[in-house]
């Protein structure tokens, strides 16, 4: 269980992060901070205002029976129209919290706290944790909104912020190189997500025949296509599921059969009846020979030899065309 001293450390972190994010928001153009971004509380200013109100509501109004600014607490978001006004409110809230936590004892942590919007009281320790977690949740929103504007948000990791509070040289300050690297990684992830989305949209729809279609997740197809396009060889064992699940299961023969558009490229064996003893025995011998090959998990024994069939190269070229954006 956290002690009163632990909570004092946690709230030193909370207050430092609040002030850093208030500085960062204040540095943005006013229209950017006030713009409705379809987030939980519309604008970045309102989200930050809400975080401060969570602090005030739990640790001042509920735990101490009063807000340092009751008029603002009882008002709506329009009561604080600018980041400067939000900052003034925040400093009042922090000052009251600091005074409260400075005298906090371990025995106080189990004291019940009744919030006016809750049906029953909760221990003070839970109120302290609730504020901490809710602040972290909404900071995640703000971080995403900063990134959408190509602005690096302030540091919020526990270790680095605590290092900065202690004024110990270390990880707290980011160098220009780290800032550039962070932005590059973020841009790279965005491009990768865009490419994956484009590739998924370009995949052909599943074909159906008389046999039952077995679906395959698109993510598996992407991995499979990447290996085929890059390696132009046998698909590694870990990727065989995508290959097998793309095939059609022939209920009559009790085995996998190739889709119709591929089946037409193989030899015509429609006149053979696998129910006949001689034909079935021949097929079983061929399958045993086929399975002895290390590449057998990716092929069907009925369609030529590995050397004769160039279907693998054709499929690889087609998938490369899809990746490049061309169309058949």
Output 32 or 212, whichever has higher pLDDT.
Answer: 32
Q: Which tens digits make up the pLDDT trace of 175-209? A: 455 455 555 555 554 554 444 444 444 445 444 43
The pLDDT value given to residue 174 = 52
Contact 216, 242 (CB under 8 A): yes
Supply the pLDDT for residue 316.
60
Q: Does the pLDDT at position 103 exceed 90? A: yes
Return the SS3 of 102.
Answer: helix
List the beta bridge partners of residue 123: 112
Q: How many residues does the chain have?
A: 328
At residue 167 the predicted structure's pLDDT band, cuts being 50, 70 and 90, is confident
Instruction: Say if CB 51 and CB 80 are below 8 A apart.
Output: no
Residue 281 binned pLDDT confidence (cut-offs 50, 70, 90): low
Please report, for residues 239, 256, 286, 293, 313, the alpha-carbon distance to residue 306 in angstroms, rounded to integers and kept in the order given: 19, 18, 13, 10, 12
- Specify the pLDDT at position 208: 41
Res. 326: pLDDT tops 70: no
What is the C-alpha to C-alpha distance for residues 196 and 202, in angstroms, rounded to an integer?
Answer: 10
pLDDT digits (tens, 9 = 90+) for 123-137: 999 999 999 999 999
In tens, the pLDDT along 3-29 reads: 999 999 999 999 999 999 999 999 999
pLDDT tens digit sequence for 219-258: 333 333 333 334 434 333 444 444 444 444 444 444 444 4
| The pLDDT of residue 232 | 37
Question: pTM here?
Answer: 0.55
- What is the per-residue pLDDT across 28-85, written as a single tens digit (0 to 9) for each? 999 999 999 999 999 999 999 999 999 999 999 999 999 999 999 999 999 999 999 9
The pLDDT assigned to 193 comes to: 46
Q: Answer whether 153's CB lies under 8 Å from 21's CB.
A: yes
């Amino acid at each position: 269980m956290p002690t009163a001293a632990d909570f004092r450390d946690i709230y030193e972190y909370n207050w430092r992060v609040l002030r850093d994010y208030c500085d960062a928001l204040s540095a943005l153009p006013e229209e950017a901070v006030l713009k409705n971004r379809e987030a939980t509380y519309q604008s970045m200013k309102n989200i930050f205002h809400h975080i401060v109100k969570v602090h005030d509501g739990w640790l001042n109004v509920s735990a101490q029976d009063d807000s340092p600014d009751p008029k603002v607490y009882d008002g709506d978001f329009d009561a604080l129209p600018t980041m400067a006004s939000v900052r003034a409110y925040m400093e009042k809230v922090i000052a009251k919290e600091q005074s409260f936590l400075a005298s906090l004892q371990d025995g106080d942590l189990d004291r019940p706290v009744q919030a006016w919007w809750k049906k029953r009281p909760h221990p003070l320790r839970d109120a302290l944790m609730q504020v901490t977690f809710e602040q972290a949740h909404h900071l995640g929103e703000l971080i995403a909104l900063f990134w959408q504007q190509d602005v690096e948000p302030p540091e919020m990791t526990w270790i680095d912020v605590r290092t900065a509070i202690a004024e110990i040289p270390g990880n707290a300050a980011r160098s220009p190189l780290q800032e550039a690297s962070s932005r590059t990684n973020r841009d790279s992830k965005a491009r990768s997500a865009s490419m994956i989305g484009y590739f998924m949209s370009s995949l052909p729809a599943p074909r159906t025949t008389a046999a039952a279609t077995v679906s395959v997740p698109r993510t598996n197809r992407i991995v499979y296509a990447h290996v085929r396009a890059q390696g132009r060889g046998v698909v590694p064992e870990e990727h065989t599921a995508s290959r097998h699940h793309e095939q059609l299961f022939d209920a009559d023969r009790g085995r996998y059969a190739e889709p119709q558009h591929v089946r037409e490229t193989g030899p015509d064996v429609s006149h053979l009846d696998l129910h006949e003893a001689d034909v079935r025995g021949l097929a079983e011998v061929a399958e045993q020979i086929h399975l002895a090959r290390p590449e057998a998990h990716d092929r069907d024994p009925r369609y030529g030899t590995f050397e004769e069939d160039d279907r693998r190269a054709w499929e690889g070229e087609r998938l490369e065309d899809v990746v490049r954006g061309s169309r058949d």
